[in-house]
Chains A and B, each alone.
Chain A
Amino acid sequence: MTQTSEPIIVFDHVSKEFRQRGSKQSTRAVDDVSLSIGAGDIFGIIGYSGAGKSTLVRMINALEQPTSGLVTVLGERVSAMGESKLRPVRQKIGMIFQQFNLFSSKTVAQNVAYPLKLDHWRKDYQDKRVAELLEFVGLSDHANKYPSQLSGGQKQRVGIARALATNPKILLADEATSALDPETTSEVLDLLKRVNEQFGITIVLITHQMNVVQQIANRVAVMSAGRVVEQGDVYDLFAAPKQEVTKRFITTAMDGLPDPARVETMHEQWPGRLVTVVIRQRDITDAAGATLVPASGQNISELIARYGVHSSLLYGGIDTVQGVAIGAVTYEFSGDDAHIGSFLTQLAQDSDIVDFGTRADPVDYAQAVARAQLAVPAEGADADGEVHTLANDVEMLEQVDDVVEMNPEDEQSENKECA
């Protein structure tokens, strides 16, 4: 699974400061980031708005230059290159954007041909290449339309075709699916996956949606307040997040663990012992092969059968991350207390469980979760019982986004609050 091959993009202690207008103060958008992205990776960079991920990715094609540190891309030190020297490097790096950034005055075919024109391709080669690319993204019938006549998903596919025109080695995707609905998002992600698999193009994907990372990335870095706070294989990060911000991203992507309000409702409906069992299909190991976090919940059915406990499956969510099942399911176990007790003891030996107790003898939510040491909704529930999700965090952040942009200083503190 870990296929970290030769690094194609290397950040070496990179920082970026933006000086504010009319003042001597500056803001650190990227703070001492060292990161290495392997050839052939789909590398996700996840973080809240303003965490510095856009700035970071723009240093790869030198749209932004670092204040300090080195950025090496395809063996070239792009962090110290002039605009004219950058041109050939940039032609090896495609880029797609949240707002697609298609030329509205050019047709679909002309948009895709634009980078070829810049590269002085012969007209007949241009036409051939454009036809090829439009076929790859499934838009051959739309060659002569203008972008305004296309749907969001189609626009992004044009963006992808355009970014691939000059056979790049790297594709940068800046929130490429954030403006799309879930179904279209999946289509675009599938297309990106094909780009990666068929052409071996390394993809760097910025997003604030954990499910995007989950769906296609193999490696991921979590950014907060300009720093990379955690990075690794996607499955490892999902199964055993270390940082609070990572945990929050993950709980929003997987809601297998019930929130307090849900547990309360279940207690009302079901008198028996409520237990959430964490499902992890395999062990998480470090580079040396030592087990960091063991698999969990793999023998649950067998144990239920062996102990003959009465069980009802009430709640859960299991998803696959890189083909490995991960999630949580909640059961009600009823019957003799002592019998269930020994069953749970046995279950806990090979699995992570959260014991919420029975209706008559409930266990406090926070206590139950703390005892299990799991990734939980960080600040617990809001007053109305709603879990603090990423979706409403992002919404919140975006509401203040305009203010944030005018005053980048606040942006940083915003992030610290999140972290």
Chain B
Amino acid sequence: MMQMLTMQTGAALASRSDWTVLRPLLAQSVVQTLQMVLVTIVIGGALGLVLGVILYGTRPGNLFENRVVYRILDILVNIIRPIPFIIFLAAMQPLTIKVVGTSIGTTAAIFPMVVMCTFATSRLVEQNLVPVDHGVIEAARAMGASKLTIIRTVLIPEALAPLILAYAFLFIGVLDMSAMAGYIGGGGLGNFAIAYGYQKFDQTVTWTAVIIMIVLVQVVQAIANAIAKRLLRR
């Protein structure tokens, strides 16, 4: 809290192009963004993987076929995913307070991000597992592999390249979410661009933040492409 107050005081004092003041703020924003995005991707990505495998597995005709579970999860994902994140952020406030203890700040922003990321990931994971050839799953069953072993050693490895691309896609979505964290005092590059660029009519500041985001996205996408390409060359 204290930190945030000093940050805003500092901003008020800064003149249009006073980068000596802006530079540390920018650095801090980058750190906050990376922190939110990475924590969200790791936790939400992992939970989403589990939920996605459950969605896939309970689909009619699949390993753990269960119409009831599939229907419930399917509807739940369909309800949560289309909610605009900024509204979701507000709607989650009571739950965020219960879980995190506060509803403002970077940590408070991470919680709804993780929840949204989990549901988004689950759908992407499910969709990328569906095209895996049922023949290889049958082959593994015929060899005596258990269902969980099949998921771990056949299903996920077979879909790994598209899954990695899906996570890169997700990274962009999470970065997008993190930009709205500013509304609940979460800081980050989005907040930096709005507070010091847009609201102060300084396009240079806005575009600095935009370019950093573009670079981040490009780097992540390039790494994902390279890994996927290596996997797909098989």
Contacts and interface: CB of A to CB of B under 8 A. Distances in A.
A115 B231 contact: no
A89 B141 CA distance: 12
Interface of A: 21, 61, 63, 83-84, 86-91, 93-95, 97, 99, 101-106, 114-115, 117-119, 146-148, 162, 166, 172
Interface string B109-151: 0000000000000000000000001011011111111110100
A103 B145 contact: no
A86 B144 contact: yes
A103 B158 contact: yes
B43 interface: no
A101 B135 CA distance: 5
A101 B139 contact: yes
Interface of B: 60, 133, 135-136, 138-147, 149, 153-154, 157-158, 160, 231, 234
State the majority secondary structure of interface residues on A: mixed
Given A103-B136, A103-B157, A118-B149, A90 B142 contact: yes
Given A97-B139, A146-B234, A105 B146 contact: no
Nearest to B135: A101
State the 8 A-B residue pairs at the shortest beta-carbon distance, nearest first: A90-B144, A146-B234, A101-B135, A101-B139, A87-B144, A105-B157, A95-B142, A115-B143
Contacts of A87: 144, 146
A61 B139 CA distance: 11
Contacts of A102: 136, 139
Contacts of A90: 141-144
Nearest to A119: B144
18 contacts: A21-B60, A83-B147, A84-B146, A87-B146, A90-B141, A90-B144, A91-B143, A95-B139, A102-B139, A104-B136, A105-B158, A115-B143, A118-B143, A118-B144, A118-B145, A118-B149, A119-B144, A146-B234
A103 B141 contact: no
A101 B143 contact: no
A173 to B, nearest CB: 12
Contacts of A146: 234
B151 to A, nearest CB: 14
Contact of B234 (A105, A114, A117): A105
B144 A63 contact: no
A102 B234 CA distance: 12
A63 B143 contact: no
Contact of A88 (B138, B144, B234): B144
Contact of A105 (B138, B141, B149, B231): B231
Given A99-B135, A105-B157, A162-B143, 8 more contacts: A63-B141, A63-B142, A90-B141, A103-B136, A103-B154, A105-B160, A114-B153, A115-B143
Contacts, number: 67
A174 to B, nearest CB: 10
Contacts of B145: 118
State the majority secondary structure of interface residues on B: helix
A341 to B, nearest CB: 61
Contacts of A83: 146-147
A87 B140 CA distance: 11
B50 to A, nearest CB: 20
Nearest to B145: A118
Contacts of A105: 157-158, 160, 231, 234
Contacts of A93: 142
A119 B145 CA distance: 9
Specify which of A88, A103, A166, A172 lies most central, judged by the most chain B CB atoms within 10 Å of its CB: A103
Contacts of B153: 114, 117
Contact of B157 (A91, A106, A115, A147): A106
A93 B144 CA distance: 9
Contact of A91 (B140, B144, B146): B144
Contacts of A172: 142
Contacts of A84: 146
Contacts of B141: 63, 90
B157 to A, nearest CB: 4
B138 A101 contact: yes
A114 B141 CA distance: 12
A96 to B, nearest CB: 9
A137 to B, nearest CB: 17
A117 B157 CA distance: 15
A105 B158 CA distance: 5
A202 B154 CA distance: 28
Contacts of B142: 61, 63, 90, 93-95, 172
B144 A104 contact: no
A101 B133 contact: yes
Contacts of B139: 95, 97, 101-103
B135 A115 contact: no
A91 B133 CA distance: 22
A276 B145 CA distance: 56
Contacts of A117: 153
A19 to B, nearest CB: 12
Nearest to A117: B153
